[in-house]
Amino acid sequence: MRSTTCSSVHESLTREWAVTVKTRSSGGVVQRWAALEPSIGRFRNLDDIVKAIAVPIGQSYDESIEIAQAVIRLSAADPLAQRLMLQVMAPILTKECFKSSQILRSLGVRVDDAEIITMVLGAATDAIAAVAGSTIDWPLRDLRRRTIKRIVRRRDRLVRNSRELADEIPEAAAASTEQSPAELLKATLDLAITKGIVSSDDAALVWSSSHHGETSFTLANGDRREAERLRRRRSRAQRRMAERSAELIEAIAV
């Protein structure tokens, strides 16, 4: 997905969805799904299913819930069904993106919209995958709750890692060294590699993010799944360094 601002999440997901549907025989997919879930049989294509779940015009909410339940059960065996549910959640994800952006920036965490989008979409994708194949009483409400819980955990971790790495290590080490913040970060990363705390690849990832300001989304060339993988790698590396910050500070200050 090429979205770089929270305001374009819905539009970009819809554009990506249109390409996905175009490369698949939408009618054929619906027929296959209907053989397993009869409630799907009244739809002609995948877009009709999205609209029926997200905007149940001319039908009861019970029908919308029934269709969403069917798609979630199908999603255990078909990733396309998971992607359909992600499309249904697009308006919710746009709101959560804006919310996370405001919270992170109010806390002084330097992060751009592209990375927040990766975090939000990753949380939603994981939430959908977690319920795939099951039957949920209130599908959209449940998925929203699961997604928000994941976003909050990732957001808190991002704040914690940012503060521990950017504040604790440089400020403590600066008391006994004349190195610049960039030099301190470089020395800390080199030492972390030497001590086996992080790999050289993960250190380079932290350096690109902390010093050059590159986001996981940028490093992944816009690939959402790769960006999520890089974000997790960087987060783990920052956490390991923070856990051994006292040791690193002492060594740098010598």
pLDDT digits (tens, 9 = 90+) for 21-60: 887 777 789 999 999 999 999 998 999 999 999 865 555 6
In this structure, what token pair is assigned to residue 170?
């440089």
pLDDT at 96: 92
Closest to 128 (Cα-Cα) out of 90, 77, 83: 83
- Which residues have CB under 8 Å from 162's CB, separation 6+? 109, 110, 238
Range in 41-50, 80-89, 147-156, 231-240 the model is least confident about:
231-240
- Taking residues 198-215, report their average pLDDT: 76
pLDDT band at 2, cuts 50/70/90?
very low
Closest to 76 (Cα-Cα) out of 135, 121, 22: 135
Share of the chain above pLDDT 90, in %: 31
Q: pTM for the full model?
A: 0.67
Distances (CA, A) of 214 to 43, 161, 201: 44, 16, 15
Q: What is the rounded CA–CA span in Å between residue 254 and residue 252?
A: 6
> Strand, helix or coil at 60?
coil
In this structure, what token pair is assigned to residue 4?
């770089």
